[in-house]
Structure 1
Amino acid sequence: MVTVLHSLGALAAWCGLFYKVRALRKDPRDPALLALCAVFALSGMSFFVSLPPVWVQVDRITGVPNMAAVLAQCCVLSLVFGQQVVLTYWARPPEEARRVARWQLGACAAAVAALITLFCLLTPTDQRVKDFTLYYVHDPYYVAYLSLYIAVYLVGEANVCRVCRRYAKVAGRTWLRRGLRVTAAGAFICLGYGAVRAGNVLGTVFHFDLRAWEDVAWLCGDVGSALTLVGWTLPGWGPRVAAVGNWLRAYHRHRRLYPLWAALHGAVPTIALTPPRGALADRLAFGQLEFRLYRRVIEIRDGQLALRAFAGPEDEERAGREGRAAGLSGEALRAHVEAVRTRTALERRSQGRAAAAARAEEDAGHAARTDLAAETAWLVRVATAFAALPRAPRQPADAGVPAERV
């Protein structure tokens, strides 16, 4: 499991680095962006070096057992400080941020130097790819080594969680808020890794063993780190993914409305702003979807309004009874009633006879909705119910576009 998690983490980090380097080329003097690129690079390196095959090769090349462990953990310490630098430049004026960042980088250098010194004092002789943390936990130098590493890690991730949650409450851009929240969530999960490692140290003093929690520690560390990396980049690519989702939703709704629109257009061709192109061409219409969807909603309502003289209250009552008998209720029942009323109006118009008690113009058979999204969602329901009804009698040959069953 650890190998899989490390591999996915490395992949996420390298992808994030590639994405951010593209932005860095446009603004190479942005210190926050430069620090963020360093965070991604260090994260990818820490995951990569921790992979068992790479760990063995690093030890073989350097001739020092477990050298990969200190390399990976130095990368983690550095990226924790790098995250603080990013937040500093985001939160403070440039001059103050540069001054604080210098102190942070100095503390980072000192922490890394201390970590390497303690590792050298440890002088490990056995290569421990899978259980390095637990194997040396009773060595006093390693206790100091791990204590320093975990203290910096916990304080850094806790600060990332705290600051990102606070900034998310005041961020003006939607995707920036979401990115900060994802980053905060990732940092919070990372605290689980730090807590287990702290328990490894405390266990030597209070005589308890957290070996059973080793998989939990790695899961928290790797998943939390991956979420943090996603959160840092989410404000950039999130809107693009959302745009694709919006396009797919608009296309789906545009298609779902076709049967109802085609039937209404067949009866009232004047509702169409542009000449219809047939069912296949409509299915292949990929451009200007927002405009097309808006027009389709308007044209459906125009068609229903034009047919108001051919539907009456008795049609609604009959449709309501049939729907309740079929087990429908709520929005599904109301959509069924409107679909039946529309189908009845189309049938009566084709036969040239009006309803016994036509609806008034101000009550065209649907509740007023204040926004296009709500109106579209409702008409999709109606169109779905309409398509499920028995096929209406054939319209005259010059009636327009044939209805399509979906």
Structure 2
Amino acid sequence: MPVLVLVTIALWIGALDKLYQLALAPDDRPLRAVAGCLACLAVVPVLNFAPVVAFLDGFGGGVARLLVNLMTMYASYWMLAFFQYSMRVSRRFQTVVFVGVLGLVVGVWLAAPVAIRLQPAALSSGDDWHSTVFVVAAVGYMAYALGLALRWAVRYARVARRVELRRGLRAIAVGLAFLIAGCVCKCFVALLQALAAVVWEAGNLAYVGFVLVGSVLLVVGVMYPAVTGMLAAVPVWRWHRRAYRDMEPLWRALHEAFPDLALRSETLPWWRDPIRIRRTHRDYYRRAVEIRDGLVQLGPYYPANAGGDAPVREADQSGEADHAHAVRAALAAKASGAPAGAPHPAPVAGGDDLDSDVRWLVRLSLSLA
């Protein structure tokens, strides 16, 4: 189904994104829980591929189906853990509950006949009590854990100040509601078949639909704040990249005058910054600081009337020619070996924040070039 393919792709994108973030911040426990949840959900479709099923069932009939159910249980556990980590509450009781239910599910599966192990949650296996206990325990735990997570998601969505985070939490809450509805349907189908010998196929189809829609909304909710933040950061990244290039003439002239101007930089492996976003921001700030350091070191060579005492508003470009002339004269004096005189203030313009100061440095660099 095209929808399943899209869901699988979305799950893998979300899981890889969170795993990459976790590699950058391995001590972030809420991020670890989100990454674990998405990774478990992303593995589930892979476990349903025929070659993977054949390989896993080589270790024992039905191992692939068991792992599918265990991964969904783990995903529910990690989703609840995310909110518990965020609230800094003890997770001991929930861990004991999860381990107990996990042991029950595996034990019932091991005790079931071979035919039930192959399809423990299928309607064809619903007449066997092993299948009923397996479904009620596994899916019932999912409904329990997701219900607690839904309560926290609704509470967070009400108090979140960031619009992106609030919208993401709302999508997560709706997705959790769909998943819980699906779990309730599946448990009801299993109990109805076991107690009344009634096979409710429509309920089973509703379970599949609820899980599909809930998984999509869950991924959308988790990824929404990150994606919107990345889109909002694109103009900033483009400005930092352009400003970095435009400041090069001024930076190069100062670096030739003062070779020890360059600051030490941390060399990161390529996988820590695969598309050079963080490196662009780091190089932008580093170049601005190095230029400012160079302008200060030129202090003994500035002309006496360099005009560096009075800041100039960013919109006022009347003094830029004078500043460029002062920097050019100081560089020439330093290059000619002229004796250093009394230090004069470095040219100052722009605003009080770094970005407005960099905009002036860009104009000064272009004027100097």
TM-score by length of 1: 0.53
Matching residue of 1:39? 37
C-alpha distance in structure 1 between counterparts of 2:208 and 2:52, whole Å: 18
SS in 1 for 2:202: helix
> Deviation of residue 17 (structure 1)?
1.5
* Residue aligned with 1:22, SS: helix
Aligned position for 1:105: 95
Correspondence 1:149 to 2:147: no
- Aligned partners of 1:40 and 1:223: how far apart in 2? 15
How many residues of Structure 1 are paired with residues of Structure 2 in the alignment? Answer: 234
Question: For 1:5 and 1:230, how far apart are their aligned partners in 2?
Answer: 14
Q: Which of 1, 11, 14 is the equivalent residue of 1:13?
A: 11
In the alignment, the residues of structure 1 paired with residue 48 and residue 135 of structure 2 have an alpha-carbon distance, to the nearest angstrom, of 16
Q: 1:49 corresponds to which letter in structure 2?
A: L
Q: Is the 8 A contact 2:140 2:184 kept in 1?
A: no
| SS of residue paired to 1:138 | coil
Q: Which residue identity is paired with 1:40?
A: L
**2 CA distance for matches of 1:221 and 1:6?**
11
Q: How does 1:329-344 map to 2 (within 5 A)?
A: none
Could you tell me which amino acid in structure 2 is paired with residue 87 of structure 1?
A: F
Structure 1 residue 30, shift from structure 2 partner: 0.9
Match of 2:76 in 1: 80
Q: Which structure has the greater CA radius of gyration?
A: 1
Letter in 2 for 1:79: A
Provide closer, same or farther for how the CA distance between residues 244 and 28 of structure 1 changes in structure 2, counting only shifts above 3 A.
closer
SS in 2 for 1:166: helix
Q: Which of the residues 17, 22, 25 maps onto 1:24?
A: 22
Could you tell me how far apart the structure 2 residues matched to 1:30 and 1:244 are? 25
Taking the aligned partners of 2:4 and 2:68, their CA distance within structure 1 comes to 12
Asked whether 1:167 is paired with 2:163, we answer no
Give 2:227's match in structure 1, choosing from 211, 234, 237. 237
- Which whole-Å CA distance do the structure 2 matches of 1:70 and 1:46 have between them? 11
Q: What SS does the corresponding residue of 1:125 show, helix, strand or coil?
A: helix
**Of 46, 49, 53, which aligns to 1:48?**
46
* Residues 75 and 176 of structure 1, relative CA distance in 2, 3 Å threshold: same
Equivalent of 1:211 in 198, 201, 207: 201
Counterpart CA distance in 1 for 2:9 and 2:144 is 26
Matches within 5 A, 1:182-193: 182-193=171-182
5+ long unaligned stretches in structure 2: 236-369
Give the aligned residue type for 1:51: F
Structural mapping, 1:5-404, within 5 Å = 5-59=3-57, 61-62=58-59, 64-92=60-88, 97=89, 100-125=90-115, 132-203=121-192, 204-241=194-231
Kept in 2, the 8 Å contact 1:199–1:210? The answer is no
- Work out the CA distance in 1 between the residues paired with 2:6 and 2:146: 20
- CA shift at 1:52, angstroms? 4.3
- Cα distance in structure 1, aligned partners of 2:75 and 2:29: 15
Residue 189 of structure 2 contacts residue 204 of structure 2 at CA under 8 Å; is this kept in 1?
no
Secondary structure of 1:235's counterpart equals helix
Kindly provide the CA deviation profile for residues 230-287 of structure 1, in whole angstroms up to 9, marking residues without a partner as x.
2122211123346779xxxxxxxxxxxxxxxxxxxxxxxxxxxxxxxxxxxxxxxxxx
Using the aligned pairs only, state the percent identity: 21
State the superposition RMSD in angstroms: 2.4
Please name the residue that 2:345 is paired with: none
Q: Deviations along 1:175-213, whole A, 9 cap, x unmatched?
A: 110110000011111123212211222212134321133
Comparing 73-82 with 187-196, greater Cα deviation is found at 187-196
Deviations 1:307-354 (A, max 9, x none): xxxxxxxxxxxxxxxxxxxxxxxxxxxxxxxxxxxxxxxxxxxxxxxx
The alignment's TM-score, normalised by the length of structure 2, stands at 0.58
Letter in 1 for 2:78: G
CA drift of 1:113 comes to: 1.8
